[in-house]
Protein backbone atom coordinates (compact mmCIF):
# COMPACT_ATOMS: atom_id res chain seq x y z
CA UNK A 1 0.00 0.00 0.00
CA UNK A 2 2.96 2.34 0.40
CA UNK A 3 3.65 4.20 -2.82
CA UNK A 4 7.05 5.44 -4.00
CA UNK A 5 6.98 8.46 -1.75
CA UNK A 6 8.49 10.39 1.09
CA UNK A 7 7.87 7.34 3.25
CA UNK A 8 9.94 4.97 1.10
CA UNK A 9 12.58 7.33 -0.25
CA UNK A 10 15.23 9.09 1.80
CA UNK A 11 13.51 12.35 0.95
CA UNK A 12 13.58 13.94 4.35
CA UNK A 13 16.91 12.63 5.55
CA UNK A 14 15.25 11.21 8.68
CA UNK A 15 16.52 7.87 9.85
CA UNK A 16 13.97 6.13 12.05
CA UNK A 17 14.83 3.51 14.63
CA UNK A 18 12.06 2.21 16.86
CA UNK A 19 13.61 0.34 19.76
CA UNK A 20 11.59 -1.52 22.36
CA UNK A 21 8.37 0.12 21.23
CA UNK A 22 7.32 -1.67 18.06
CA UNK A 23 5.36 -4.86 18.37
CA UNK A 24 6.03 -7.80 16.09
CA UNK A 25 3.09 -10.09 15.24
CA UNK A 26 3.28 -13.69 16.36
CA UNK A 27 0.77 -16.07 14.83
CA UNK A 28 -0.50 -19.29 16.37
CA UNK A 29 -3.21 -21.50 14.86
CA UNK A 30 -4.88 -18.67 12.97
CA UNK A 31 -4.57 -16.14 15.78
CA UNK A 32 -2.06 -13.33 16.11
CA UNK A 33 -0.94 -11.16 18.99
CA UNK A 34 1.15 -7.98 19.04
CA UNK A 35 2.50 -6.51 22.27
CA UNK A 36 4.31 -3.22 22.83
CA UNK A 37 5.29 -1.41 26.01
CA UNK A 38 7.08 1.60 27.43
CA UNK A 39 7.74 1.81 31.14
CA UNK A 40 4.69 0.49 32.97
CA UNK A 41 2.32 1.03 30.02
CA UNK A 42 1.63 -2.08 27.94
CA UNK A 43 -0.64 -2.61 24.94
CA UNK A 44 -1.71 -5.90 23.39
CA UNK A 45 -3.47 -6.16 20.05
CA UNK A 46 -5.03 -9.46 18.95
CA UNK A 47 -6.90 -10.70 15.91
CA UNK A 48 -7.77 -13.95 14.17
CA UNK A 49 -7.58 -15.03 10.56
CA UNK A 50 -5.12 -13.82 7.96
CA UNK A 51 -4.79 -11.05 5.39
CA UNK A 52 -7.09 -9.88 3.91
CA UNK A 53 -9.70 -11.39 6.18
CA UNK A 54 -8.50 -10.62 9.69
CA UNK A 55 -11.32 -10.75 12.22
CA UNK A 56 -12.07 -10.01 15.86
CA UNK A 57 -9.50 -7.23 16.39
CA UNK A 58 -9.16 -6.27 20.05
CA UNK A 59 -6.94 -3.92 22.03
CA UNK A 60 -6.04 -4.23 25.71
CA UNK A 61 -4.08 -1.49 27.50
CA UNK A 62 -2.75 -1.87 31.01
CA UNK A 63 -0.78 0.33 33.39
CA UNK A 64 1.44 -1.48 35.89
CA UNK A 65 -0.66 -4.59 35.40
CA UNK A 66 -4.02 -2.85 35.83
CA UNK A 67 -6.27 -3.08 32.78
CA UNK A 68 -7.44 0.39 31.72
CA UNK A 69 -8.91 -0.46 28.33
CA UNK A 70 -10.24 -3.69 26.84
CA UNK A 71 -12.38 -3.17 23.75
CA UNK A 72 -12.95 -4.46 20.20
CA UNK A 73 -11.09 -2.32 17.67
CA UNK A 74 -13.28 -0.15 15.47
CA UNK A 75 -12.93 2.94 13.30
CA UNK A 76 -15.39 5.38 11.77
CA UNK A 77 -13.75 4.61 8.41
CA UNK A 78 -13.98 0.82 8.46
CA UNK A 79 -16.07 -0.17 11.46
CA UNK A 80 -15.00 -3.49 12.97
CA UNK A 81 -13.62 -4.68 9.62
CA UNK A 82 -10.31 -2.84 9.67
CA UNK A 83 -7.20 -4.83 8.82
CA UNK A 84 -4.12 -4.68 11.04
CA UNK A 85 -1.55 -2.51 9.33
CA UNK A 86 1.11 -5.09 10.27
CA UNK A 87 -0.36 -7.39 7.65
CA UNK A 88 0.88 -4.90 5.04
CA UNK A 89 4.62 -5.42 4.30
CA UNK A 90 6.99 -3.10 6.18
CA UNK A 91 4.22 -1.51 8.24
CA UNK A 92 3.98 -1.43 12.04
CA UNK A 93 0.74 -2.19 13.77
CA UNK A 94 1.42 -1.18 17.37
CA UNK A 95 3.70 1.28 19.14
CA UNK A 96 3.90 2.74 22.63
CA UNK A 97 5.72 6.06 22.33
CA UNK A 98 5.90 9.56 23.74
CA UNK A 99 3.96 11.88 21.43
CA UNK A 100 4.73 14.83 23.70
CA UNK A 101 7.97 15.85 25.36
CA UNK A 102 6.41 15.46 28.81
CA UNK A 103 3.75 13.24 30.28
CA UNK A 104 2.98 9.56 29.80
CA UNK A 105 3.44 7.56 26.63
CA UNK A 106 0.56 6.84 24.26
CA UNK A 107 -0.51 3.74 22.39
CA UNK A 108 -0.54 4.10 18.60
CA UNK A 109 -2.42 1.47 16.59
CA UNK A 110 -2.07 1.26 12.81
CA UNK A 111 -5.05 0.05 10.76
CA UNK A 112 -5.82 -0.37 7.08
CA UNK A 113 -9.33 0.10 5.70
CA UNK A 114 -8.73 -1.89 2.53
CA UNK A 115 -9.00 -0.98 -1.13
CA UNK A 116 -6.47 -0.36 -3.89
CA UNK A 117 -5.78 3.24 -2.88
CA UNK A 118 -6.99 3.57 0.70
CA UNK A 119 -6.47 4.04 3.62
CA UNK A 120 -3.94 4.10 6.47
CA UNK A 121 -5.57 4.94 9.79
CA UNK A 122 -3.69 5.75 12.98
CA UNK A 123 -5.50 5.51 16.30
CA UNK A 124 -4.00 7.09 19.42
CA UNK A 125 -4.99 5.96 22.90
CA UNK A 126 -3.85 8.32 25.65
CA UNK A 127 -4.20 8.38 29.41
CA UNK A 128 -6.91 10.82 30.46
CA UNK A 129 -6.61 13.48 33.11
CA UNK A 130 -7.38 10.98 35.86
CA UNK A 131 -4.66 8.59 34.67
CA UNK A 132 -7.18 5.76 34.86
CA UNK A 133 -9.18 6.38 31.71
CA UNK A 134 -8.18 6.13 28.06
CA UNK A 135 -9.02 8.74 25.43
CA UNK A 136 -9.13 7.70 21.78
CA UNK A 137 -8.48 9.77 18.65
CA UNK A 138 -7.93 8.69 15.04
CA UNK A 139 -6.76 10.14 11.75
CA UNK A 140 -7.12 8.94 8.17
CA UNK A 141 -3.76 9.36 6.43
CA UNK A 142 -5.09 8.08 3.12
CA UNK A 143 -3.01 6.17 0.64
CA UNK A 144 0.51 7.56 1.30
CA UNK A 145 0.70 5.83 4.67
CA UNK A 146 2.53 7.22 7.69
CA UNK A 147 5.59 6.66 9.87
CA UNK A 148 6.29 7.60 13.46
CA UNK A 149 9.52 9.61 13.64
CA UNK A 150 11.30 11.05 16.72
CA UNK A 151 11.59 14.64 15.46
CA UNK A 152 9.40 16.43 17.98
CA UNK A 153 10.51 18.38 21.08
CA UNK A 154 12.74 16.29 23.31
CA UNK A 155 12.74 13.43 20.82
CA UNK A 156 8.98 12.93 20.99
CA UNK A 157 7.36 11.20 18.03
CA UNK A 158 5.47 12.90 15.20
CA UNK A 159 3.59 11.44 12.22
CA UNK A 160 5.44 11.76 8.90
CA UNK A 161 3.32 11.44 5.78
CA UNK A 162 2.35 13.17 2.52
CA UNK A 163 -0.70 15.29 1.73
CA UNK A 164 -3.14 12.90 0.09
CA UNK A 165 -5.31 15.68 -1.37
CA UNK A 166 -2.74 16.07 -4.19
CA UNK A 167 -3.48 12.54 -5.47
CA UNK A 168 -5.42 12.79 -8.74
CA UNK A 169 -5.60 16.59 -8.37
CA UNK A 170 -4.03 17.35 -11.76
CA UNK A 171 -3.16 13.99 -13.31
CA UNK A 172 -3.41 10.26 -12.67
CA UNK A 173 -2.34 8.76 -9.37
CA UNK A 174 0.98 7.36 -10.56
CA UNK A 175 2.16 10.79 -11.74
CA UNK A 176 0.80 12.75 -8.77
CA UNK A 177 3.28 14.31 -6.40
CA UNK A 178 2.37 14.69 -2.74
CA UNK A 179 4.21 17.23 -0.57
CA UNK A 180 5.51 16.33 2.84
CA UNK A 181 3.10 16.57 5.78
CA UNK A 182 3.97 16.26 9.47
CA UNK A 183 1.45 15.97 12.28
CA UNK A 184 2.03 16.18 16.00
CA UNK A 185 -0.41 14.94 18.62
CA UNK A 186 -1.46 16.87 21.73
CA UNK A 187 -4.64 17.53 23.72
CA UNK A 188 -6.17 14.43 22.12
CA UNK A 189 -5.96 15.78 18.57
CA UNK A 190 -3.67 15.74 15.53
CA UNK A 191 -2.05 19.04 14.56
CA UNK A 192 -0.36 19.97 11.28
CA UNK A 193 3.14 21.19 12.19
CA UNK A 194 4.79 20.79 8.78
CA UNK A 195 5.85 24.43 8.55
CA UNK A 196 7.88 23.99 11.75
CA UNK A 197 10.27 21.67 9.90
CA UNK A 198 11.68 23.98 7.25
CA UNK A 199 14.76 21.82 6.63
CA UNK A 200 12.67 18.74 5.90
CA UNK A 201 10.28 20.72 3.71
CA UNK A 202 13.22 22.18 1.75
CA UNK A 203 14.68 18.71 1.19
CA UNK A 204 11.32 17.49 -0.03
CA UNK A 205 11.03 20.44 -2.42
CA UNK A 206 14.49 19.69 -3.82
CA UNK A 207 13.54 16.09 -4.56
CA UNK A 208 10.30 17.08 -6.31
CA UNK A 209 12.12 19.68 -8.42
CA UNK A 210 14.71 17.07 -9.39
CA UNK A 211 11.92 14.68 -10.38
CA UNK A 212 10.26 17.42 -12.43
CA UNK A 213 13.51 18.23 -14.24
CA UNK A 214 13.90 14.56 -15.13
CA UNK A 215 10.62 14.85 -17.03
CA UNK A 216 12.62 16.58 -19.78
CA UNK A 217 13.58 13.09 -20.97
CA UNK A 218 9.93 12.48 -21.88
CA UNK A 219 9.39 16.05 -23.13
CA UNK A 220 7.36 16.88 -19.99
CA UNK A 221 4.44 14.72 -21.13
CA UNK A 222 2.99 14.39 -17.62
CA UNK A 223 4.73 16.87 -15.34
CA UNK A 224 2.06 18.86 -13.50
CA UNK A 225 1.69 16.44 -10.58
CA UNK A 226 5.36 16.69 -9.65
CA UNK A 227 5.63 20.44 -9.94
CA UNK A 228 2.45 20.86 -7.87
CA UNK A 229 4.11 19.10 -4.93
CA UNK A 230 7.24 21.25 -5.37
CA UNK A 231 5.15 24.43 -5.41
CA UNK A 232 3.34 23.42 -2.20
CA UNK A 233 6.63 22.82 -0.39
CA UNK A 234 8.05 26.13 -1.58
CA UNK A 235 4.93 28.01 -0.53
CA UNK A 236 5.30 26.56 2.97
CA UNK A 237 8.81 28.02 2.99
CA UNK A 238 7.46 31.45 2.03
CA UNK A 239 8.89 31.39 -1.50
CA UNK A 240 5.80 32.60 -3.37
CA UNK A 241 7.74 34.84 -5.75
CA UNK A 242 10.06 31.97 -6.71
CA UNK A 243 7.07 29.72 -7.36
CA UNK A 244 5.26 32.29 -9.49
CA UNK A 245 8.35 33.08 -11.58
CA UNK A 246 9.25 29.45 -12.14
CA UNK A 247 5.74 28.35 -13.10
CA UNK A 248 5.34 31.26 -15.52
CA UNK A 249 8.61 30.36 -17.20
CA UNK A 250 7.80 26.66 -17.43
CA UNK A 251 4.29 27.34 -18.74
CA UNK A 252 5.68 29.58 -21.48
CA UNK A 253 8.17 26.86 -22.39
CA UNK A 254 5.38 24.28 -22.70
CA UNK A 255 6.67 22.17 -19.82
CA UNK A 256 3.49 21.99 -17.71
CA UNK A 257 1.40 19.15 -19.11
CA UNK A 258 -1.05 16.55 -17.86
CA UNK A 259 -1.56 13.11 -19.35
CA UNK A 260 -5.29 13.67 -18.75
CA UNK A 261 -5.47 16.85 -20.82
CA UNK A 262 -7.84 18.36 -21.91
CA UNK A 263 -9.82 17.13 -18.88
CA UNK A 264 -7.05 18.42 -16.60
CA UNK A 265 -5.48 21.84 -17.31
CA UNK A 266 -2.00 22.34 -18.73
CA UNK A 267 0.21 25.37 -19.23
CA UNK A 268 -1.06 28.71 -17.91
CA UNK A 269 -4.47 27.17 -17.13
CA UNK A 270 -2.72 24.70 -14.84
CA UNK A 271 -0.90 27.53 -13.06
CA UNK A 272 -4.21 29.28 -12.37
CA UNK A 273 -5.82 26.04 -11.18
CA UNK A 274 -2.85 25.24 -8.96
CA UNK A 275 -2.99 28.68 -7.32
CA UNK A 276 -6.66 28.16 -6.44
CA UNK A 277 -5.87 24.67 -5.16
CA UNK A 278 -3.03 25.92 -2.94
CA UNK A 279 -5.29 28.67 -1.56
CA UNK A 280 -8.01 26.13 -0.81
CA UNK A 281 -5.70 23.89 1.22
CA UNK A 282 -3.86 26.62 3.09
CA UNK A 283 -0.55 26.69 1.25
CA UNK A 284 -1.21 30.21 -0.03
CA UNK A 285 -2.51 32.77 2.43
pLDDT truncated to tens, each residue of the chain (285 aa)?
334 443 444 344 443 333 333 344 444 446 788 999 999 999 999 988 766 667 889 999 999 999 999 999 999 988 887 888 765 666 679 999 999 998 889 999 999 887 666 788 999 999 876 667 899 999 999 888 899 999 999 999 999 999 999 999 999 999 999 999 999 999 999 999 999 999 999 999 999 999 999 999 999 999 999 999 999 999 999 999 999 999 999 999 999 999 998 888 999 999 999 999 999 999 998
Containing domain of residue 42, as a range?
26-162
Q: Is residue 183 part of a domain?
A: no
Q: Which helix (H) or strand (E) is 201 found in, with range?
A: helix 198-214
pLDDT of residue 52: 60
152, 158 in Cβ contact below 8 A? Answer: yes
Cα separation, 94 vs 129, in Å, equals 23
Q: In terms of domains, do 119 and 50 share one?
A: yes
Cα separation, 168 vs 262, in Å, equals 15
pLDDT of residue 91: 66
| Residue count of the chain | 285
Q: In terms of domains, do 207 and 132 share one?
A: no
Q: Is residue 194 part of a domain?
A: no
pLDDT of residue 244: 98
Q: Is the peptide bond before 262 cis (omega within 30 degrees of 0)?
A: yes
Cα separation, 113 vs 138, in Å, equals 13
**Which of 162, 191, 212 is at the close of a domain?**
162
Question: Which sign does the torsion angle of CA 157, 119, 79, 18 carry?
Answer: negative
Q: In terms of domains, do 111 and 209 share one?
A: no
Residues 6 or more apart whose Cβ sits within 8 Å of residue 234 = 205, 240, 242, 243
pLDDT of residue 117: 64
Q: In terms of domains, do 127 and 212 share one?
A: no
Task: Please report, for residues 9, 205, 207, the alpha-carbon distance to residue 219 in angstroms, rounded to integers and kept in the order given.
Answer: 25, 21, 19
pLDDT of residue 53: 66
Q: Is residue 188 part of a domain?
A: no
Q: In terms of domains, do 120 and 239 share one?
A: no
Q: Is residue 158 part of a domain?
A: yes
Q: In terms of domains, do 47 and 122 share one?
A: yes
pLDDT of residue 88: 60
Q: Is residue 104 part of a domain?
A: yes
pLDDT of residue 145: 87
34, 23 in Cβ contact below 8 A? Answer: yes
Amino acid sequence: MFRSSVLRRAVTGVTVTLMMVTGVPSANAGAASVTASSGSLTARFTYTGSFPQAKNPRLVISEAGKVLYDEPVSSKWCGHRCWPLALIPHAKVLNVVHLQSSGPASVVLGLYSGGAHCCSIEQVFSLGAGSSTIEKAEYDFGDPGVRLVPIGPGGSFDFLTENDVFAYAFTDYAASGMPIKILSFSHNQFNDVTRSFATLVARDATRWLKAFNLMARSHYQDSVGLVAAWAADEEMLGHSSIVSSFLAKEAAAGHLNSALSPEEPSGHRFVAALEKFLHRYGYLK
